[in-house]
Structure formats: C-alpha cells, structure tokens
Amino acid sequence: MLELLPAPPVDPLWDLAAEFAADPRPERLDLVLGVYRDHTGVTPVMAAVRQAEIRLAERSDTKEYLGLSGNTAFNRAMLSLVLGGEERTGRATAVQTVAGTGALRLLADLVRQTRPGATVWISDPAYVNHRPILEGAGLTVRTYRWLEATGRPDTAGLLEDLGAARHGDVVLLQGCCHNPTGVDPSFGAWEELAGLAETNGWVPFVDLAYHGLGDGLDADLRPTRMLADRLPEVLIAVSCSKNFGLYSDRTGCAIVLGSSRQTLRHVETALQNAARTLYSMPPDHGAAVVATVLEDERLRAEWRAELDVMRHRITANRADLVAHLRALGQEEQARCLARQKGMFSMLPLTSDGMRRMRRQSGIYGTASGRINIAGVPAHRIPFLAQGIATALQTPRAARSV
C-alpha cells in the first residue's frame, strides 16, 4: 500500500527551517517562521502568562475531558476581547479550536456545509496556508488583488475584484498586519468593503492572528468590530499564538456572528460536530491560561503592557531597517518597508533574490520575499540591511512590491 503513495509536496516554511538548521555559518539569520523574539533572539514566555500558569498549577486537581466547545470561560473571554460590547457578543457564538489554523478549518467546513457551491476569495498574495486549508475542506478558491506595484494597498483593484463576489460567497480578510506583506488597507477601505458586502451579499471571513502587534489592540480590532456592526453574518478565526506567545500550546477560537439565537445554536453544534471528526476536542492548557489572564484585571493589564512592548520593538526594528537601507542608498525599498506593519515585511526581492541573499549572507526568508521583522535581534539590523542591499545589486533581483 505505502509504495503507491506519491511524493507529497514539502512544506516550504519548514523546509527552509531545516535548511537553516543545517547551515554551519554562525552569522546566519532565521527570519522564516512567524515567531516573536526579544532583543536576545529568544521567544519569551510572557510574564502574565507565566503567572497564570503558576495559578493553574496550584489549583488544578483534574485533567478531565473538556466539552466539544472547549473551555467555555476562554470562549466568553475571547468573545469579549475580540468583539467588545454586549451588542456584538450577544449575537455571536464561539468554540475553542486547535490554534488559529483549527479555527480556519472548522469555519471552512461550516461554509462547505451551508454553502457547498460558494467561492472563497483570498488575497494575492495570501498567508501560505489559506489556500490549502480551504481547498482541503472542498471549497473553490479565487483571489483578489492586494498590492500595487509601488507597495501600497491596491484598494481599487481589491474592490473591483470583489465586485465579482456573488451572494453567498465568502471573502477571507486578514483583520490586521497582513501576512505576508505587512500592508493593510485604510479604515475607509474597510468601510467600502463592508458596503460592498452589504450590497452583494457575501460574507466576511476574518483571520485574526496578529491583533495588538500593528497599531495597538483596539485599533487592530476596529475593522473587525465595524464589520460585526454593519453585517448580519461574520466568521472570525482567532489565534492566541502571537499576542499571548502560546505558539506550542495551539490555542485559538472560531467565532460566528449571526442574526438569531436559533441559528447560532445550530452553528455551534455544526462546529462541535466538525471538531469531533477532526480532533474531538481541543487541549485545555493554553485556553485556561488565556482565560485566567483576561478574567483577572491585574494580569490583563500586565498582558496588555507586555503586548505594547512587543509592538514597540517590532515598530522600532522596522524603522531601524528603513534607516539603514536609506543610508545604503536603497530609498525606494526603504519607502516600501516603511508602509508596512506587524510581524512581517515583504522585501523587494524575487525568489532568486531571496535565494541569493540566503547563499551570500545566510539570511533566510521565504521565497515570496517575506521576512519576520519581529525575529531580528536589534544589533543584527545593520547586517540584515547590508544583506538586502547586496542581494539587490544584481539588476534582475529587484522587483517592485
């Protein structure tokens, strides 16, 4: 049987991570995987998270199964965190998932059950896992434009492409800090998208993975909350990996806003049934940590302060890289990077240019040009800027983003 299995495609990110691990150069720099690292290059456990874990260890007296919806205290806390007031949370339901990836898949399964002929629209470029998750759920995928050649958001192209989205289609939108480009539309463009959804009858599907790391927690959540205010149905996949630092605990949440309590009860059951066939129920530890942090006023304030520190460091890294590129005469590339926000930046390099930078300087990013700006120790920024400039020296390496 196993001899009949064709060679499957290798995951490009983990393939690059393996290549980095095998690289003997001590100066090599890993900017592939999307993890936050502090100034020493370590992905830390947040202090609020550590305190919550200590509390849980002291009071935990069972490892009994959770229900199919997971940790209900976590689900309530996530509804409040993401949606804010009762006017939104009162028309929403949530189930805990295995990270944001699990939320994307459960919601994709929900779309397939309710609208089997629907098309799901994703940005071009998109997060590398969006298409495989959606197509793995049996959905048809189309793309909409995201960037102009100048590196600015292509609002006109975005709205033109999504003008073709039909009633009942689903549009996957990254709520903030777009991965891989780091480029977000203006709030005015978000409002135009809401108007288009109202007119044409498509459903927004918001992927929230980096809230708190762009312009601040409330500012990053503002577009999602606006969509919730204006539209009868919204799907939201939420990850706690980045803004709580719970990467290996795989903590996430699927949120659905609907127009009636009966509809939401059916939605919750459908999500539970989908989870049952995939992984039965999610692990509790990360969700219990998040619930403990968000339910305690002191811990919640400490977490938000830590999140702000992370955001400021990411912003400072990007500003420092822009300054060093300008000093090296790369003004156009610096302007492109200066418009971006969040963990990721899209470099003005082709896949050949990224390969050349990897070979020449030991700087590892994805073939698309994405680097994890949150993973650069501050003292390595000059090294990174020089590596980019060197890779750009070959004329064919450069491209507009």
The per-residue pLDDT for range 164-211, each reduced to its tens digit, is 999 999 999 999 999 999 999 999 999 999 999 999 999 999 999 999
Q: Kindly state whether residues 109 and 190 are assigned to the same domain.
A: yes
Instruction: Quote the pLDDT of residue 396.
Output: 47
Q: Kindly state whether residues 18 and 125 are assigned to the same domain.
A: no
Q: Kindly state whether residues 239 and 311 are assigned to the same domain.
A: no
Q: Kindly state whether residues 283 and 334 are assigned to the same domain.
A: no
Residue 388, number of CB atoms within 10 A of its CB: 27
Instruction: Quote the pLDDT of residue 345.
Output: 93
Q: Kindly state whether residues 253 and 324 are assigned to the same domain.
A: no
Long-range contacts formed by 375-378: CB under 8 A, 24+ apart: 375/30, 375/31, 375/33, 375/35, 375/36, 375/37, 375/41, 376/29, 376/31, 376/37, 376/317, 376/321, 377/37, 377/39, 377/40, 377/41, 378/39, 378/313, 378/316, 378/317, 378/320
The model carries a pTM of 0.94
**Which CATH number does the domain housing residue 290 bear?**
3.40.640.10
Instruction: Quote the pLDDT of residue 113.
Output: 94
Instruction: Quote the pLDDT of residue 394.
Output: 63
Q: Kindly state whether residues 190 and 324 are assigned to the same domain.
A: no
pLDDT tens digits for range 270-299:
999 999 999 999 999 999 999 999 999 999
Distance CA 328, CA 335 (A): 13
310 lies in a domain? yes
Q: Which residue has the higher pLDDT, 55 or 394?
A: 55
Instruction: Quote the pLDDT of residue 398.
Output: 41
Average pLDDT of span 248-262:
95
Q: Kindly state whether residues 229 and 313 are assigned to the same domain.
A: no
Confidence grade of residue 400 (pLDDT, cut at 50, 70, 90): very low
397 pLDDT above the threshold of 50: no
